[in-house]
A = this chain, B = another copy of it.
Amino acid sequence: MTVCESYYPSEPTKPSVATSSIPGPKSQKELAELGKVFDARPAYFVADYEKSVGNYIVDADENVYLDLYAQISSIALGYNNPSLIKAAQSPEMIRALVDRPALGNFPSKDLTGILSKLLKFAPKGQDKIWSGLSGADANELAFKAAFMYYRSKQRGYSTEFSAEENESVMENSLPGSPHLAVMSFKRAFHGRLFASGSVTCSKPIHKLDFPAFNWPHAEYPSYQFPLEANEEANRAEDDRCLKIVEDLITSWPIPVAALIIEPIQSEGGDNHASKYFLQKLRDVTLKHGVVYIIDEVQTGVGATGKFWCHEWAEITPAVDLVTFSKKFQSAGYFFHDPEFIPNKAYRQFNTWCGDPARMIIAGAIGQEVVDKSLVEQCARVGDYLFGKLEALQSQYPKYFQNLRGKKRGTFIAWDLPTTDLRDSLLKNLKLNGCNVGGCAEKSVRLRPALTFEEKHADIFVDTLKKVVPQL
């Protein structure tokens, strides 16, 4: 019996779509109601989570889709997972929901245990955690940690703030409110608040009309695929981008305190960074005293065939901060250097300091991933699926451009010639029972749960074989 079968004995054996358009009539009716109180325009359909099971999501019209998008890459174990239901019904969950604590001031007796469970799954080298509420929040909390660390290196960790700092900060002015930057990369996505929005650089619509910090965006490598046939050109691309990174660090009018990067730019097009590139960034950040932050919000928790994607790069010494969210259903950052603990209490602080309800779910997810060897399974299924897609690529090279994500679990993407063709493919996939997402302008990205197995890959590939020739 496979892991998926053991979780979901009643999982459908195949998708079924009965409506001629999506959203179907019942979804449309419910969206019209929802639209009166909520911005429902981005909705693909209205989901029926009660009926959804395992790798299949069901909509209000009872259409059943094989889900390769998984709530924008956020469902780790499939729908209505029995282990998570157990965690959701536990007495500690009831308390976490009903008596939501201000964890900084009044930590619960079980908090050490809850956090220690999460730390079991921390990336190599990281042994401490700070918790937040979303990926954007996690990144901004990491920026705060980085700024405090950077200034403490300049000032001395235990040096008191000056009177001038204490006064000027209340005016949002120098020196208490310093001019410091976080460097990120073109096509990056790190969230949509104001600091996270300033490092995000994937689409104008995410940022237009919002004030931004004057922070620099370096260039993220654009590789030629397949990687193994283009090593020399891609190494040159790495070096070109590394030079831009270092040039910006030394020339930007505002000191660069931190650098944040996704090991695979997800929202921005599934752009991969090589082991060489990620390691060289460690060298450059150490050389210039820049805090190195890896954003694993979308890549983390198993989907790339490692628990954390940047483990593929074996970066040495370990990066400074690693942020997480999505598949952990919780958020925050891991770190190892004790000097990232602020020199005084209440500097990294807020009312809730995270949500224990979501932390409990995260711990249960991590435990299942390990107990059921789901990272290894994802690597295996990803290899299987990638092989099938390579075959399709040979047959339809026009519709499978830049196929990428080989040996990266099910974290796979490719390009269509145009946005219209990509959107048309996604639409036809949905009408044929496969819920798949896009990214960037003309990419398809696969983001199934870790419970996605070979039989599901077969269904998806068969569906592609049906719809691609109709493009």
Contact = CB atoms under 8 A, between A and B. Distances in A.
Interface string A31-44: 10110011111111
Nearest to A257: B211
B347 A194 contact: no
A173 to B, nearest CB: 8
B44 A211 contact: no
Interface of A: 30-31, 33-34, 37-50, 52, 57, 60, 71-72, 74-75, 79-81, 84-85, 87-89, 91, 93-95, 97-109, 111-112, 115-116, 119, 127-130, 133-137, 140, 143-144, 147-148, 150-152, 161, 165-166, 169-173, 176-181, 186, 191-195, 198, 201, 204-215, 217, 325-326, 329, 341-342, 344-352, 355, 357-358, 361
A348 B207 CA distance: 10
A287 to B, nearest CB: 23
A44 B341 CA distance: 19
A75 B94 contact: no
Given A112-B33, A205-B344, A209-B178, A101 B49 contact: yes
Given A109-B46, A129-B38, A351 B72 contact: yes
A147 B177 CA distance: 23
A296 B37 CA distance: 20
Contact of A38 (B57, B115, B152, B201): B115
9 contacts: A38-B129, A41-B345, A43-B107, A72-B351, A84-B97, A88-B97, A97-B357, A194-B194, A206-B347
A115 to B, nearest CB: 5
A176 B52 CA distance: 41
A452 to B, nearest CB: 16
Contacts of A351: 71-72, 74, 134-135, 325-326
Contact of A80 (B99, B127, B347, B349): B99
Q: Interface on chain A toward B: helix, strand, loop, or mixed SS?
A: loop
Given A37-B115, A341-B39, A99 B52 contact: yes
B346 A112 contact: no
Nearest to A326: B351
A194 B136 CA distance: 12
Nearest to A34: B112
Given A172-B215, A345-B41, A98 B107 contact: no
Given A38-B115, A351-B135, A80 B109 contact: no
Given A147-B211, A176-B208, A72 B361 contact: no
B186 A170 contact: yes
B161 A208 contact: yes
Which one of A47, A60, A99, A176 has the greatest number of beta carbons of chain B within 10 Å?
Answer: A99
Contacts of A128: 37-38
A193 B112 CA distance: 25
A160 B33 CA distance: 28
Given A43-B106, A89-B94, 14 more contacts: A39-B341, A42-B346, A49-B99, A49-B101, A50-B95, A71-B100, A79-B99, A85-B98, A140-B193, A150-B209, A170-B217, A181-B211, A208-B347, A211-B213
Given A179-B211, A204-B166, A47 B108 contact: yes
Which one of A89, A116, A134, A345 has the greatest number of beta carbons of chain B within 10 Å?
Answer: A134
B207 A50 contact: no
Contacts of A100: 71, 74-75, 329, 361
A208 B165 contact: yes
A350 B192 contact: yes
A334 to B, nearest CB: 10
